[in-house]
Amino acid sequence: MANAGPPPIKFQQLLQLTQLGINQNAIKFTNITIESDRCVVVREEQKIAIVNTATRNVTPLNVTVDSAIMNPSTNVLGLRQKNNLQIFNLDMRTRMKTTEAAEPVQYWRWLDQRTIAYVTAKAVYHWSMEGDAAPIKKFDIVPEERQVQIIGYDASADGNWLFLQGIAKSAQDNSIEGVLQLYNVPLNRYQPKMNAHGGCFAHLNINNRAATLFCFTKKDGNATKLFVVEVGNQDNPLRVQSQIDFQQANDFIVAMVPAAKYGCIYAISQQGTLFLYDIATGRHIFSRRVSNTTMFLSVPHEKTGGVVTLDRGGRVAVFHVDETNYVPYITNTVGDAKLGVTIATKYNLPGAGNIFKTRFEQLIAQGNYQAAAKLAADAPQGVLRTPETIQKFQSAPNVGGGPLPICNITPVCCKRAR
């Protein structure tokens, strides 16, 4: 790597829970839920506190529950006490639905704005808010001899793939191991359980096809690797892997959040390191320790294409790609100009203008006007859609007659140049 330039990540602290009256003892995985970047819900003794991340307003509710989850986009709240699950509309102050789980619920979350997913020791269920719909069992859980704490669950965008994420203590050295279970809905088939961490689904356009990618991290000998595997496609599926270098011993990835806006994935480690990888290539872009304490929750930040994180100290922060520095950082600091150009083109990002201009001049000098015209059309941020580019074509020999290639691509520039 070359000398590091400005980092490709921006950071902003949204709020500090302890400064808003939240008890430090309540800041732990069993007491806090973050279903979206809108709010944080904290369970304390005989009450819950709903913290708005934008206004920092704290709304207390005097209820005694085991868990509370706020709908990702509306003021609808899920409350769970033992096996009893209820959904409330806070604006209308009415109870919308209630159900009784057959076994104790170990984990639950809003899968989307209309569906709650919950997990018992035996099975996974989806419960729709629509009408009188009862919970539907999605699949039975493969029994596990050791005790597994469920920390995550998700579905692919098309609903064809589901995965369950847990952690358990190793029988050999008492370290924390990941337990991932992937399930194929159409085929009603389990993939073998994996000792892996940080699973997530990512959805990208790969070679003009909509690809569903399952991402996870797994130990490979003495190293830990990020794996990106395309599922549901048997014709030359994408499979990439990349090594993860942890700064602290016994660290591991607790969560990963993909960002389709930049084709990247944010990986959060248990001991506070943020990693950034390009999904399609698995290329490591950036990593830095961003917290001195345990990080244990994260969700996408919709506005920036970033990630919202919560650490044990109560800091709620957002990290996101810096559009100004991202491509230059990849090109100059990571030293991968090809990847920088690819990302700039695919996601219309600045930072590779000089590379495109140099290549354009080369094509013009070679007389390859069709390729130069295509480059001018594809270059991000309109760096080649300029009067100067039009002049290059207008002064070029029109071999064979017919319209200049640029006229079929960028008539707006032609008008500007006249």
Band (306; pLDDT cuts 50, 70, 90) = very high
Q: What is the CA radius of gyration of the chain?
A: 25
- pLDDT tens for residues 166-211? 999 987 888 899 999 999 999 999 988 899 999 999 999 998 899 9
Taken in order of first residue, the domains within the chain and their CATH numbers are: 9-64+142-334 (2.130.10.110), 352-417 (1.25.40.30)
DSSP letter assigned to residue 165: E
To the question of pTM greater than 0.85 for the whole model, the response is yes
d(CA 150, CA 148) in angstroms, rounded, equals 6
Token pair for residue 192? 């073998």
- 96: Cα separation from own chain's centroid: 31
Beta-carbon contacts of 137 under 8 Å, excluding residues fewer than 6 positions away, are 123, 124, 125
Tell me the mean pLDDT in the region 6-27: 97
pLDDT over 50 (residue 2): no
Angstrom distance (rounded) from CA 283 to CA 331: 12
Task: Please state the three-class secondary structure of 108-155 as a single string.
Answer: EEEEECCEEEEEECCEEEEEECCCCCCCEEEEECCCCCCCCEEEEEEE
Q: Which residue has the tokens 């709903």?
A: 50
pLDDT at 91 over 80: yes
Report the pLDDT averaged over residues 360-386: 88
Q: Where is average pLDDT lowest: 9-18, 258-267, 383-392?
A: 383-392
CA distance 397 to 369: 10
Category of 354 on φ-ψ map: left (φ > 0), alpha (ψ -120 to 50) or beta = alpha
Q: Please choose, from the candidates 319, 255, 311, the residue with its C-alpha nearest in 3D space to the C-alpha of residue 9.
A: 319
8 Å CB contact between 52 and 316:
no
> How large is the average pLDDT for residues 137-145?
91
Alpha carbons 306 and 300: distance in angstroms, whole number: 6
Residue of 262, 264, 208 lying closest to 235 (CA atoms):
208
Q: What is the pLDDT of residues 95-121, one digit of tens each?
A: 999 999 999 999 999 999 999 999 999
Report the percentage of the chain scoring pLDDT > 90: 76
- What is the per-residue pLDDT across 39-52, written as a single tens digit (0 to 9) for each? 999 999 899 999 99
Cα angle, residue 281 at apex, residues 277 and 283 outer, rounded to 5°: 40
Element (H, E) at 44: strand 39-44
pLDDT average, residue stretch 58-71: 97
